[in-house]
Amino acid sequence: MSSSNLLNIGSQALTANTVALNVVGQNIANVDTEGYSRQSVTLVSQEYLNGVTATDISRITDEFLRSQIYSQTSSYYRLSSYEELASQLDDLLAADGTSISDSLDTWFESLQTAIDDPSNLANRQLLLSETEALVQTFSSLDAQLETQNEAINTEISESVAAINSLATNLAAVNDSIRLASAANSLSNELLDQRDQILEELAGYINFTSDIQSDGQVNLYIGQGEPLVVGQTSYQLSTGANPDDPQEQNVYLTIGSQQSDLTSQISGGVLGGVIEYRETVLGDARDQLGLLSLTFTDNMNSLQSLGLDLNGEFGSEMFADINSADAVSNRLVSNSENTTSVLESQVYLVDLSVVQATEYTLEFDSRSQVTLERADGESWTYDEADSQASAADVDEDGEFYLDSSSGELVIQQDGMLIQLEISTTRSPVGDSYTIQPTRYGVNNMELLISDGAELAFAEPVIVTEDAANAGSAELTATVSSSEFRGKLAGYINSQGSSANATEDSVMPLEVSFSDDGSGGLLYSITDADGNAIATDLTYQAGEPLLSADTDLDGDGTADDLGISLELSGTPKAGDSYSLAFNENGVSDNRNALAMAELQYSQMVDGASYQDYYAVIVQEVGSLTSVAQINSEAAKSLLDANTATLSSISGVNLDEEAVDLVKYQQAYAAASQLIRAWQEMFDTLLASVNS
């Protein structure tokens, strides 16, 4: 070996070990730096005994594991944000101050107190106070849900702003990586910055990444829409949902093209809050709205059929569920429609079949529309199968469509949908969102303030003749406050000169006679002896009078607003008198009917409180599942993060060992140079001598 080679080996060793010591020092300095990946120097022996050189400073990492961590981070933050919102709702539904079940219990207890002494005005006023408290509980809970919706809109806006900022930063890092790579001076720190940004982004939104050969990364979201490509970042934005202006959607703008990505986002905080809004919050508001609508409509119906302390038929206790504001707010036109709405109403005509969900109505062509429920059930209506007129639509499944006038009437799921659109443009593709119960609580308003106006009494008193030999009991049920007018109208329509009036038809007399063959006939007459029913055949178990009874034999039912049913066995000669209950201040029969609704299947086959319990149970179940999934996702994320840390994290013990090793190698290399120096000095001395 020549002396010059020894010098070269020593100097190269000094240089290589200096690089190695710098790498160790960099690792030790960044032991607590978030996102830092441990670096390692690669030393390669020079051929032909020319020493050593540092050929590369590599970054210790595992790209596959990092990709998994991005995915798991996105999943964890989605589940975590979903679980946080669901837990808030779960607490709201069960809390003492906002529990509808507790308020209903208190309301029915107050009703029972009033029933015990129906003439006591103080008890009636207490019931009205509890009614107002019940309305406030509904309103307070619904307001909290609306606040949650607003919070979600804010979260969406803030998440989009954070995503845009990170995407811009990533594009800038990409540019730095490009320039460094072109100059053959790419630093590992730039790659660490890149990965740190990717991990932060994963907390907001799910994405797929494509790492280029030079270290730049391209990002795609949704169904492959670009977020970052090289040095270019595309901006997300928020805007009102065209189907529901109360909700914020997420859009991606590329050039002049804007795409709605809301339904495609399924990860990160953004995906979690959107999923919660679509699967929990909207359903909860729909169900709460149906409960309030059913309760108020049921009470209004009974209130209108009873008599108050003044002997008058009761006025509505609550605002009409089909008020002008209510029917106009249930249908929303998509903001991107080409045609304008001239008029729209959605009436709830049969709450027993109304669904607490959302519908989409869309024009397939000028003469055909499709109504689709959120669960996927759909109905298509073609003009060729239309009813003859809008007035003919009075049963579920019937519709009227006139493409020339733009008029559409549909009855489905207990809703009567009326829509009239402009015909100046084609409506094809235009859509409308129908939310029959979403804002039901907004319409819940107590209208009466005087306890005397509570209609606790039944309007008709039935008196059995003392001489009756049978065991039958007659029950009268009023279905219309105008029943006396209907009775008078029917009597006068029979061609008699009775000139019956609302005040003259009562008392009614119901009498039974022998038909001569062992059967019974019955007749119904008014106070003046005018016949309503004459010698009709009595059939056990069948009502004497109902909305379906054909009294005059013309083949058409005669609905007189009152039904008569008999229990037990009558005998010929038995009779009953029906009088208007003008002084029924102590009558509590209508109030008892109100109380019976507490345990009746009034809302989707359940009682009021059972239906609310189902809402609470569903939200509680979703919350529990979300908590379990969130904890599982966190455990998996932590495990993979720990694994990556063991690979790319700085271990001070290992670095200390390397530090000593490279220090000793550096010192040994110095000795090589000193040995060369001594040899060279000896050589010079020998030459000079």
pLDDT number for residue 296: 96
CB 272 within 8 A of CB 82: yes
C-alpha 658/C-alpha 25 separation (Å) is 10
Question: Please, which residues bridge with residue 9 across strands?
Answer: none
C-alpha 455/C-alpha 4 separation (Å) is 117
pLDDT number for residue 1: 46
pLDDT number for residue 51: 81
Stretches in the chain below the pLDDT threshold 50: 1
pLDDT number for residue 127: 96
Instruction: Annotate 105-125 with b (16+ C-beta within 10 A) or e (fewer).
Output: eebbebbebbbeebbeeebbb
At residue 358, what is the residue type?
Answer: E
* Rg from Cα positions in the chain: 41
**Among candidate residues 276, 267, 258, the one with its CA nearest the CA of residue 201:** 267
CB 644 within 8 A of CB 69: yes
Whole-model pTM: value is 0.87
Q: Judging by beta carbons within 10 Å of its beta carbon (0-12, 13-18, 19+), is residue 23 exposed, middle or buried?
A: buried
**Among candidate residues 98, 101, 103, 78, the one with its CA nearest the CA of residue 88:** 98
Reading the block at residue 599, the tokens are 């345990």
CB 299 within 8 A of CB 317: yes
Domain ranges of the chain: 3-60+649-688, 66-276, 324-439, 460-580
Tell me how crowded residue 139 is: count the other CB atoms within 10 A of its CB. 15
- Give me the residue label for tokens 């007189």: 560
C-alpha 556/C-alpha 562 separation (Å) is 17
CA dihedral 383, 385, 389, 395 (to 10 degrees): -120
Coil, strand or helix at 35: coil
pLDDT number for residue 34: 82
C-alpha 546/C-alpha 558 separation (Å) is 8
